[in-house]
């Protein structure tokens, strides 16, 4: 009876899992099919062909290569900058009795919880005003500004829980606040930084709304909005669009596989706190 139950469980969960990954697998399969095959047999049929030309079209003709480069040019500095700034803010707020520190933390978190829609128009006007409209720098700045509150809040929670004694010991050894930050607190915060790093990488890399608000020219578009443009370029060539989709998903999947533990842990941050 028990064995039957276990067997039933695995059959049911196996089916659910298969159902869950089927759309992904199926799009990967389509991405390797030729246009003639899709046209003749339909998108729902089993593949009758195998080709890499779809990837060549997406990579070269649709210039997804440049879009990927743009994405990385935005994502990497934005992740480093926002985590750097958030970690110093969190350090100051968590380890020193700065006046109004709770109000500051509250304000910063509240800023991140604002719906981005309220910021879209003023920010697009602001970057235009300072002459940075349609630049990757503007996009980096937006991501840093908008992410700071949440990262600071999470890192504050981590740094606050570190024992007082280590900081006092470092003070006795003659270390100033800067030295304590870089030599004591930051190394101890590494797990949280890794989790936030993995998360923020995917968030910023996957962003659509800010990119289409701040960037106009096609050659500066990051990969997520560029992927949407692919639809206009390859109307109903769903095999090429599928290849483009696979390419756009590769970097976040790679980060996920590399930092799986941190990534999942990061998503759960706050859930059990």
Whether 151 contacts 83, CB under 8 Å: yes
Nearest to 152 by CA among 88, 195, 209, 97: 88
Q: How far is CA 17 from the centre of its chain?
A: 24
Which positions from 234 through 253 interact with another protein, judged by CB under 8 A? 238, 241-242, 244-245, 248-249, 252-253
Interface residue with another protein among 149, 167, 195, 237 (CB under 8 A) is 149
The DSSP code for 220 is: G
Interface residue with another protein among 61, 65, 110, 166 (CB under 8 A) is 110
Mask for 172-191, x = binds another protein (CB under 8 A):
xxx-xxx--x----------
Residue 199's contacts (CB-CB under 8 Å, 6 or more residues apart) are: 263, 266, 267
> What is the nearest approach in angstroms of another protein to the Cβ of residue 199?
10
> What is the nearest approach in angstroms of another protein to the Cβ of residue 43?
4
Mask for 61-90, x = binds another protein (CB under 8 A):
------------------------xx-xx-
Nearest to 167 by CA among 179, 184, 155, 182: 184
Our finding on whether 272 is near another protein (CB under 8 A) is yes
Report the alpha-carbon distance of residue 62 to residue 240 in Å, rounded: 10
Report the alpha-carbon distance of residue 273 to residue 268 in Å, rounded: 9
Our finding on whether 153 is near another protein (CB under 8 A) is yes
Which positions from 188 through 227 interact with another protein, judged by CB under 8 A? 202, 205-209, 212-213, 224-225, 227
Interface residue with another protein among 47, 49, 66, 92 (CB under 8 A) is 92
> Torsion angle, CA of 213/216/222/225, rounded to 10 degrees?
70
Interface with another protein by CB under 8 A: which range of 51-59, 62-70, 121-129, 185-193? 121-129
Our finding on whether 120 is near another protein (CB under 8 A) is yes
Distances in Å between the Cα of 29 and the Cα atoms of 23, 99, 158, 162 are: 10, 59, 44, 49
Which positions from 11 through 70 interact with another protein, judged by CB under 8 A? 13-14, 16-18, 20-21, 23-24, 26-27, 30, 42-45
């Amino acid at each position: 009876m028990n064995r039957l139950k276990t067997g039933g469980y695995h059959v049911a969960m196996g089916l659910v899992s298969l159902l869950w990954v089927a759309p992904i697998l199926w799009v990967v399969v389509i991405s390797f099919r030729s246009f003639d095959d899709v046209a003749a047999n339909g998108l729902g049929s089993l593949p009758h062909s195998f080709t890499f030309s779809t990837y060549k079209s997406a990579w070269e003709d649709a210039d997804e290569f440049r879009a990927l480069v743009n994405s990385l040019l935005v994502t990497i500095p934005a992740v480093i900058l926002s985590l750097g700034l958030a970690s110093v803010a969190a350090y100051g707020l968590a380890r020193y009795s700065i006046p109004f520190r709770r109000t500051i933390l509250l304000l910063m978190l509240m800023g991140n919880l604002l719906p981005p829609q309220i910021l879209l128009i003023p920010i697009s006007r602001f970057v235009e005003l300072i002459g940075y409209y349609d630049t990757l720098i503007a996009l980096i700045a937006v991501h840093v500004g908008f992410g700071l509150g949440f990262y600071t809040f999470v890192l504050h929670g981590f740094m606050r829980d570190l024992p007082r004694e280590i900081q006092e010991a470092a003070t006795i050894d003659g270390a100033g606040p800067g030295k304590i930050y870089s030599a004591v607190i930051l190394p101890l915060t590494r797990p949280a930084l890794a989790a936030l790093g993995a998360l923020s990488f995917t968030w910023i890399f996957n962003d659509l709304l800010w990119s289409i608000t701040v960037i106009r020219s096609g050659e500066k578009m990051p990969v997520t909005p560029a992927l949407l443009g692919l639809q206009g370029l390859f109307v109903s060539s769903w095999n090429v669009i599928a290849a483009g989709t696979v390419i756009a998903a590769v970097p976040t999947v790679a980060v996920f596989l590399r930092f799986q533990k941190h990534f999942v842990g990061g998503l759960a941050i706050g859930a059990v706190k």
